[in-house]
Amino acid sequence: MPPADSQLPGVDHVFADPELLRAALTHRSHSNTNNERLEFLGDAVLNFVIAAELFHQRPEDNEGSLSRLRSRVVRGETLARVARRLKLGDHLRMGEGELKSGGYLRDSVLADALEAVLGAIYLDAGFDAAAQVIRETFEPVVDRLPDAESLKDPKTRLQEWLQARSRPLPVYELVREEGAEHAKRFHVICRLEDTGFEAEASGSSRRKAEQAAAGAVLSANEAPQP
Protein backbone atom coordinates (compact mmCIF):
# COMPACT_ATOMS: atom_id res chain seq x y z
CA MET A 1 0.00 0.00 0.00
CA PRO A 2 1.44 3.43 -0.95
CA PRO A 3 2.18 6.01 1.76
CA ALA A 4 -0.81 8.24 2.61
CA ASP A 5 1.03 11.33 1.40
CA SER A 6 1.62 9.91 -2.10
CA GLN A 7 -1.94 9.10 -3.12
CA LEU A 8 -5.27 10.87 -2.86
CA PRO A 9 -8.14 8.56 -1.86
CA GLY A 10 -10.42 7.93 -4.80
CA VAL A 11 -7.78 8.89 -7.39
CA ASP A 12 -5.96 6.03 -9.09
CA HIS A 13 -2.49 7.55 -9.14
CA VAL A 14 0.45 7.08 -6.80
CA PHE A 15 2.80 10.07 -6.89
CA ALA A 16 6.46 9.37 -7.53
CA ASP A 17 7.01 12.88 -6.14
CA PRO A 18 4.67 13.34 -3.15
CA GLU A 19 5.64 17.02 -2.94
CA LEU A 20 3.60 17.64 -6.07
CA LEU A 21 0.49 16.30 -4.37
CA ARG A 22 1.30 18.33 -1.27
CA ALA A 23 1.58 21.49 -3.36
CA ALA A 24 -1.67 20.72 -5.20
CA LEU A 25 -3.51 20.56 -1.88
CA THR A 26 -2.03 23.79 -0.51
CA HIS A 27 -4.26 26.85 -0.66
CA ARG A 28 -2.67 30.28 -1.11
CA SER A 29 -3.82 31.25 2.40
CA HIS A 30 -1.44 28.64 3.81
CA SER A 31 1.78 29.41 1.99
CA ASN A 32 3.39 31.37 -0.82
CA THR A 33 4.16 27.96 -2.30
CA ASN A 34 0.63 26.94 -3.22
CA ASN A 35 -1.51 25.30 -5.89
CA GLU A 36 -2.25 28.28 -8.16
CA ARG A 37 0.29 27.42 -10.86
CA LEU A 38 -0.73 23.75 -10.80
CA GLU A 39 -4.36 24.83 -11.12
CA PHE A 40 -3.49 26.75 -14.30
CA LEU A 41 -1.84 23.67 -15.76
CA GLY A 42 -4.57 21.27 -14.68
CA ASP A 43 -7.26 23.47 -16.19
CA ALA A 44 -5.58 23.25 -19.60
CA VAL A 45 -5.14 19.45 -19.43
CA LEU A 46 -8.71 18.93 -18.22
CA ASN A 47 -10.19 21.06 -21.00
CA PHE A 48 -8.25 19.20 -23.68
CA VAL A 49 -9.08 15.71 -22.42
CA ILE A 50 -12.79 16.46 -22.00
CA ALA A 51 -12.87 18.08 -25.46
CA ALA A 52 -11.27 14.96 -26.98
CA GLU A 53 -13.69 12.65 -25.16
CA LEU A 54 -16.71 14.60 -26.35
CA PHE A 55 -15.33 14.78 -29.89
CA HIS A 56 -15.18 10.99 -30.06
CA GLN A 57 -18.37 10.26 -28.13
CA ARG A 58 -20.60 12.82 -29.88
CA PRO A 59 -19.77 12.49 -33.61
CA GLU A 60 -23.04 14.16 -34.66
CA ASP A 61 -22.57 17.34 -32.59
CA ASN A 62 -21.17 20.51 -34.13
CA GLU A 63 -18.57 22.84 -32.63
CA GLY A 64 -21.10 24.95 -30.73
CA SER A 65 -22.75 21.90 -29.19
CA LEU A 66 -19.42 20.39 -28.17
CA SER A 67 -18.37 23.69 -26.59
CA ARG A 68 -21.57 23.85 -24.53
CA LEU A 69 -21.14 20.27 -23.38
CA ARG A 70 -17.51 20.82 -22.41
CA SER A 71 -18.45 23.97 -20.49
CA ARG A 72 -21.00 21.98 -18.51
CA VAL A 73 -18.31 19.45 -17.52
CA VAL A 74 -15.47 21.85 -16.66
CA ARG A 75 -17.50 24.60 -14.96
CA GLY A 76 -16.72 25.35 -11.33
CA GLU A 77 -19.97 23.92 -10.00
CA THR A 78 -19.31 20.53 -11.61
CA LEU A 79 -15.67 20.45 -10.52
CA ALA A 80 -16.68 21.23 -6.95
CA ARG A 81 -19.22 18.40 -7.01
CA VAL A 82 -16.54 15.96 -8.23
CA ALA A 83 -14.12 17.26 -5.58
CA ARG A 84 -16.71 16.63 -2.86
CA ARG A 85 -17.19 13.09 -4.10
CA LEU A 86 -13.44 12.63 -3.67
CA LYS A 87 -13.61 14.32 -0.21
CA LEU A 88 -10.88 16.67 -1.43
CA GLY A 89 -11.73 19.28 1.20
CA ASP A 90 -10.58 16.91 3.94
CA HIS A 91 -7.03 17.03 2.60
CA LEU A 92 -6.57 20.74 1.88
CA ARG A 93 -3.90 22.73 3.67
CA MET A 94 -5.28 26.19 4.42
CA GLY A 95 -4.52 29.18 6.58
CA GLU A 96 -6.24 29.38 9.94
CA GLY A 97 -8.56 32.17 8.84
CA GLU A 98 -9.74 30.27 5.76
CA LEU A 99 -10.30 27.13 7.80
CA LYS A 100 -12.42 28.99 10.37
CA SER A 101 -14.50 30.61 7.64
CA GLY A 102 -15.16 27.25 6.00
CA GLY A 103 -13.01 27.89 2.95
CA TYR A 104 -12.58 24.16 2.37
CA LEU A 105 -16.33 23.97 1.65
CA ARG A 106 -16.41 26.66 -1.04
CA ASP A 107 -17.00 25.62 -4.64
CA SER A 108 -14.20 27.83 -5.98
CA VAL A 109 -11.61 26.43 -3.56
CA LEU A 110 -12.57 22.82 -4.26
CA ALA A 111 -12.68 23.32 -8.02
CA ASP A 112 -9.26 24.98 -8.04
CA ALA A 113 -7.77 22.20 -5.90
CA LEU A 114 -9.12 19.49 -8.21
CA GLU A 115 -7.56 21.20 -11.23
CA ALA A 116 -4.30 21.52 -9.29
CA VAL A 117 -4.28 17.80 -8.53
CA LEU A 118 -4.73 17.05 -12.22
CA GLY A 119 -1.88 19.40 -13.06
CA ALA A 120 0.28 17.69 -10.46
CA ILE A 121 -0.44 14.26 -11.96
CA TYR A 122 0.55 15.59 -15.38
CA LEU A 123 3.90 16.80 -14.03
CA ASP A 124 4.44 13.60 -12.03
CA ALA A 125 3.70 11.04 -14.73
CA GLY A 126 2.88 12.75 -18.02
CA PHE A 127 -0.14 13.40 -20.17
CA ASP A 128 -1.38 9.82 -20.54
CA ALA A 129 -1.53 9.30 -16.78
CA ALA A 130 -3.40 12.58 -16.25
CA ALA A 131 -5.79 11.80 -19.10
CA GLN A 132 -6.57 8.37 -17.67
CA VAL A 133 -7.40 9.85 -14.25
CA ILE A 134 -9.58 12.50 -15.88
CA ARG A 135 -11.49 9.94 -17.96
CA GLU A 136 -12.09 7.73 -14.91
CA THR A 137 -13.01 10.59 -12.60
CA PHE A 138 -15.33 12.40 -14.99
CA GLU A 139 -16.92 9.39 -16.68
CA PRO A 140 -20.14 9.65 -14.59
CA VAL A 141 -20.41 13.35 -15.44
CA VAL A 142 -19.88 12.86 -19.18
CA ASP A 143 -22.28 9.90 -19.29
CA ARG A 144 -25.07 11.97 -17.71
CA LEU A 145 -24.75 14.99 -20.01
CA PRO A 146 -28.06 16.05 -21.56
CA ASP A 147 -28.61 16.80 -25.21
CA ALA A 148 -26.50 19.81 -26.23
CA GLU A 149 -29.56 21.68 -27.49
CA SER A 150 -31.01 21.85 -23.98
CA LEU A 151 -27.85 23.59 -22.72
CA LYS A 152 -28.33 26.68 -24.86
CA ASP A 153 -29.07 29.77 -22.81
CA PRO A 154 -32.58 31.27 -23.16
CA LYS A 155 -31.44 34.32 -25.17
CA THR A 156 -29.76 32.09 -27.76
CA ARG A 157 -32.76 29.77 -27.97
CA LEU A 158 -35.17 32.69 -28.35
CA GLN A 159 -33.03 34.25 -31.07
CA GLU A 160 -32.84 30.98 -32.99
CA TRP A 161 -36.57 30.39 -32.56
CA LEU A 162 -37.35 33.82 -34.03
CA GLN A 163 -34.81 33.54 -36.86
CA ALA A 164 -36.25 30.16 -37.89
CA ARG A 165 -39.57 31.98 -38.42
CA SER A 166 -38.03 35.02 -40.16
CA ARG A 167 -39.13 37.26 -37.31
CA PRO A 168 -37.20 40.28 -35.96
CA LEU A 169 -34.89 39.85 -32.98
CA PRO A 170 -36.20 40.73 -29.52
CA VAL A 171 -35.52 43.99 -27.73
CA TYR A 172 -34.29 44.06 -24.12
CA GLU A 173 -35.01 47.07 -21.94
CA LEU A 174 -33.71 47.71 -18.43
CA VAL A 175 -36.72 49.15 -16.62
CA ARG A 176 -35.30 49.61 -13.12
CA GLU A 177 -32.62 48.70 -10.61
CA GLU A 178 -33.22 48.30 -6.89
CA GLY A 179 -31.37 47.36 -3.74
CA ALA A 180 -28.03 48.19 -2.17
CA GLU A 181 -24.93 48.33 -4.38
CA HIS A 182 -23.73 44.92 -3.18
CA ALA A 183 -27.15 43.29 -3.60
CA LYS A 184 -28.76 44.93 -6.62
CA ARG A 185 -31.69 43.48 -8.53
CA PHE A 186 -32.10 44.31 -12.20
CA HIS A 187 -35.52 44.28 -13.85
CA VAL A 188 -35.59 43.78 -17.60
CA ILE A 189 -38.34 43.54 -20.21
CA CYS A 190 -37.93 41.33 -23.27
CA ARG A 191 -40.23 42.47 -26.08
CA LEU A 192 -41.10 40.92 -29.45
CA GLU A 193 -41.19 43.81 -31.87
CA ASP A 194 -43.61 42.30 -34.39
CA THR A 195 -46.33 41.33 -31.91
CA GLY A 196 -45.67 43.59 -28.92
CA PHE A 197 -45.62 40.59 -26.60
CA GLU A 198 -43.32 41.18 -23.63
CA ALA A 199 -42.27 39.65 -20.36
CA GLU A 200 -40.46 41.11 -17.38
CA ALA A 201 -37.97 39.29 -15.16
CA SER A 202 -35.32 40.17 -12.61
CA GLY A 203 -31.86 38.94 -11.72
CA SER A 204 -28.74 39.74 -9.75
CA SER A 205 -27.14 41.11 -12.94
CA ARG A 206 -28.53 42.62 -16.11
CA ARG A 207 -27.40 39.57 -18.08
CA LYS A 208 -29.23 37.18 -15.75
CA ALA A 209 -32.36 39.31 -15.88
CA GLU A 210 -32.26 39.32 -19.69
CA GLN A 211 -31.84 35.54 -19.73
CA ALA A 212 -34.80 35.09 -17.40
CA ALA A 213 -36.98 37.44 -19.45
CA ALA A 214 -36.04 35.66 -22.69
CA GLY A 215 -36.92 32.34 -21.08
CA ALA A 216 -40.33 33.69 -20.07
CA VAL A 217 -41.04 34.95 -23.59
CA LEU A 218 -39.92 31.67 -25.13
CA SER A 219 -42.02 29.56 -22.75
CA ALA A 220 -45.13 31.62 -23.40
CA ASN A 221 -44.76 31.59 -27.17
CA GLU A 222 -43.66 27.98 -27.57
CA ALA A 223 -46.55 26.70 -25.44
CA PRO A 224 -49.44 25.22 -27.42
CA GLN A 225 -52.34 27.62 -27.71
CA PRO A 226 -55.65 26.46 -26.17
Known catalytic residues are 43, 115
**DSSP 8-class letter at 4:** G
| β-bridge pairing 185-191 and 171-178 | antiparallel
- Please tell me the distance from the alpha carbon of residue 129 to that of residue 12, in angstroms, as a whole number: 9
DSSP character string of 41-79 = HHHHHHHHHHHHHHHHH-TT--HHHHHHHHHHHHSHHHH
- Please tell me the distance from the alpha carbon of residue 73 to that of residue 76, in angstroms, as a whole number: 9
Could you give the 3-state DSSP secondary structure of residue 93? Answer: strand
Could you give the 3-state DSSP secondary structure of residue 187? Answer: strand
CA distance to 71, 149, 177, 191, per residue, from 67 (Å) = 6, 11, 33, 29
The closest alpha carbon to 25, from 77, 140, 103, 134, belongs to 103
Q: In what order do the strands lie in the sheet with 171-178?
A: 171-178, 185-191, 198-203
The amino acid sitting at 135 is: R
